[in-house]
Chain A
Amino acid sequence: MPAAPHRRAAGLRWVVVVLGTVLLVTAALVGRPAWSAGGGDGPEGGDAGGDGVTRVLARAAASASVPFTGTATSSGALGLPDLPRLGDVAALVGESTRTRTWWAGEGTWRTDVLTATGERGQYASGGQLTGWDYERDAITVDAPLSGARLPRASDLLPPTLARSLLAGATPEQLVEQGATDIGERVVAGRLADGVRLRTTPTAEQPDASRLSTLDHADVWVDRATGLPLAVDVVDIVGGPVVSAAFDDVALGAPNPAALVVPDPPGASVRTAEVDVAAGAATAAPWALPDQLAGLPALQDPLSTGAVAYGTGLLRLAVVSLPAEQGRQALFAAEAAGADPLDPADDASTPAARTALVRAGALSAAIVVVPDGEGRRERRAYLVSGAVQPELLTRAAAQLVTEPPERRP
């Protein structure tokens, strides 16, 4: 008995359906293959060892002028408590944030934090930063664009995050610290060269890798324009610290209409709140040293009370706090169960009271130096970074023992 011909047709139908499904699922999960990515005709990079890495890093560091429009997702794994005057820092470094950015240049851009039910926009222009919060129906004005401040959404864009990682060291220095080529990858449909930054010991920092809590940071740089497209910072236990990547990006000048600060009818207008860092930066009476624990300052210590020190991935942030505020922070930390910094080694921080707070890869110490014994007035510092407590202890010891200069 011959098999009925329509049976074969039925089998064929299923084969067509299954094949189509496999293709679709593959396309959805894998995304566009490398060969279809744009930007492949740009300068060669990535494959030439040290020279290629240097060139990629140099282009990434100089990418602030590359205009783009895009959406990005950043996420942090730092569980910070929700504290007053911290703005939305806790959310920025502890959760996933979706942003949409129009970038015309370093001083002219707009970054919206997208939420399911609204939008928080920041508009930079003319040295000012204007904020718009849809759900509060409020415009925030008069925030300075530059100067010491807490992180904001635009700091976690892949290009800005990458540039801040690269700041404070030349590409050559970074290569010396162990930056290596990690091949190429497609990010948001564009071909990117990868560089892995490491904390390899160098002549200046012989114990760099021991002092950092970070293992490495991967930076993916658009081959055509040098714009960093993705950043992943990973700690020594292999966990993500912070990562950011474009979901979608278009190179070229953004639509100027999108950069116009909105004037919504009926919205309230507020003056920007001064955040902790900015407040300290202007109010701190004492200047910080030019070098701390062997790390160079990245800002001029005479101009601000909040200074970052370091090179490559090894970074320390120090804020000179008003003494009373420092004492309150110390008490709060002690009440929450914080231990003193390096209790075994009292000699390094004689007479100072310290408290150590750790959150994932991040460590922070509050240091309060009391009056008396011929020293100058009471002082207080917040020292923090993705570093081991040992480095904080060294920094604290130097801050306590070296008499500071008064700021002009």
Chain B
Amino acid sequence: MSDLAVQTQGLTKRFGRVQAVTDVDLRVTEGDRYGFLGPNGSGKTATVRMLLGLVLPTAGRVRVLGGRVPQDAARVLPQVGAMVEGPAAIGHLSGRANLRLLDAAVPTPGGRRTRRRRVEDALEALGLAQVGRRPVRAYSLGMRQRLGIASALVRRPRLLVLDEPTNGLDPQGIALVTDLLLQLSAQGTTLLVSSHLLSEVEHLCTRVGVMDRGHLVVQDDVDALRAPTGRLLVTLAVRDQDDDDGARAAALAGQLLGSRLLESPVPAPDPGAAGVRLVVADAGDVVGDLVRGGLAVREAVVERRTLTDVVLSRTTAVGEGMGA
């Protein structure tokens, strides 16, 4: 399929005796904002490096933007911007000099002026245009991170592969980068963002893949993963939590809902106002039935799983570097 920006088949990598990646079938559609998740050591980085031709697969095939990697790397990689395992630059040169050198390493159509403007645009986009001649050595961690992203953007790539893009950024930096990525996505750039920060991916991405011990254990649209679970979470307002009022409301709800009540009502966790928490199968007019029965419904929410739930339920190496 030509609309796949990234496709791997049976991608496998062994480093000596260590099986880093096993039989991974990655599918990233053009226009996706793909979140590539997994704890440290799960094979994420090895997979990304294979996509970029840095690491050669032991077995399996890689197609990026319609070309094979590494065979067609010279054709497809110019349309890919990447930041892998942190930014890197020549310390004694300025950020601008670094980008210019890197851009000049592979000639592209357009003259020197075009190239310079491209570099300025990328620096501008990451808020680095005013840094001047300061050597990269004197940059803060966040500035280096932004320089790394700028470097990936210089070529205005169709596919942007970013490893931990918000690493080391302050909140403003994170907002800047997230906005920028959404903006690029809106312009049609396919994003492949690898991260161990679930919340970052959850906000940014439309699709996720989760690696665990070298296997791709989840690959789905975020919306599908977060589809309603078929349960409603209902909170009934009661006068006093400790009073009989609560027990009465719970009992009445049980009568009204019958088998739709899935769990025993519990006191609502909200400390501000007294209430009873119900877990109800989302069938029929639950709220209407309760209200008609004379109960005060303060809140009724369709239950959705969080990405954290999904990832934690599917991965084994929990807690090691994975956080919400």
Contact = CB atoms under 8 A, between A and B. Distances in A.
Interface of A: 1-7, 10
A7 to B, nearest CB: 7
Nearest to B9: A1
B217 interface: no
Contacts of A10: 56
A7 B56 CA distance: 8
B59 interface: yes
Chain B contact patch, size range: 10 to 19
Contacts of B127: none
Contact of A1 (B56, B59, B70, B71): B59
B60 interface: yes
Nearest to A3: B59
B235 interface: no
A3 B56 CA distance: 11
Nearest to B57: A4
Nearest to B10: A1
Contacts of A7: 56, 58
Contacts of B98: none
Contacts of A5: 71
A1 B9 CA distance: 10
Contacts of B190: none
Given A1-B59, A10-B56, 13 more contacts: A1-B10, A1-B12, A1-B60, A2-B59, A3-B59, A4-B56, A4-B58, A4-B59, A4-B60, A4-B61, A5-B71, A6-B56, A6-B70
A115 to B, nearest CB: 47
Nearest to B59: A1
A234 to B, nearest CB: 55
Nearest to B13: A4
Interface centre among A1, A3, A10 (most CB of B within 10 A): A1
Contacts of B71: 5-6
Contacts of B61: 4
Nearest to A4: B57
B63 to A, nearest CB: 13
Contacts of B58: 4, 7
Interface of B: 10, 12, 23, 56-61, 70-71
A367 B23 CA distance: 96
Contacts of B10: 1
A11 to B, nearest CB: 12
20 contacts: A1-B10, A1-B12, A1-B23, A1-B59, A1-B60, A2-B59, A3-B59, A4-B56, A4-B57, A4-B58, A4-B59, A4-B60, A4-B61, A5-B71, A6-B56, A6-B70, A6-B71, A7-B56, A7-B58, A10-B56
Contacts of A3: 59
A4 B23 CA distance: 13
B73 to A, nearest CB: 10
Nearest to B71: A6
A334 to B, nearest CB: 75
A1 B56 CA distance: 15
A4 B11 CA distance: 10
A3 to B, nearest CB: 6
A317 to B, nearest CB: 72
A268 B70 CA distance: 72
Contacts of B23: 1
Contacts of B59: 1-4
A10 B55 CA distance: 13
Q: Which 10 A-B pairs have the closest CB atoms?
A: A1-B59, A1-B10, A4-B57, A4-B59, A6-B70, A6-B56, A3-B59, A1-B60, A1-B12, A6-B71
A159 B12 CA distance: 70
A5 B68 CA distance: 11
A6 B57 CA distance: 9
A10 B71 CA distance: 12
Interface centre among A2, A3, A4, A6 (most CB of B within 10 A): A4
Nearest to A7: B56
A122 B10 CA distance: 78
Contacts of A1: 10, 12, 23, 59-60
A76 B71 CA distance: 62
A4 B61 CA distance: 7
A30 to B, nearest CB: 38
Contacts of B60: 1, 4
Contacts of A6: 56, 70-71
A230 to B, nearest CB: 54
A7 B60 CA distance: 11
Nearest to A9: B71
A70 to B, nearest CB: 52
B14 to A, nearest CB: 12
A316 to B, nearest CB: 74
B216 to A, nearest CB: 15
A206 B312 CA distance: 105
B54 to A, nearest CB: 13
Nearest to A5: B71
A1 B57 CA distance: 12
A2 to B, nearest CB: 7
Contacts of B70: 6
B193 to A, nearest CB: 26
Nearest to A2: B59
A1 B59 CA distance: 7
Contacts of B57: 4
B225 to A, nearest CB: 29
A290 B12 CA distance: 94
B44 to A, nearest CB: 20
Nearest to A10: B56
B76 to A, nearest CB: 15
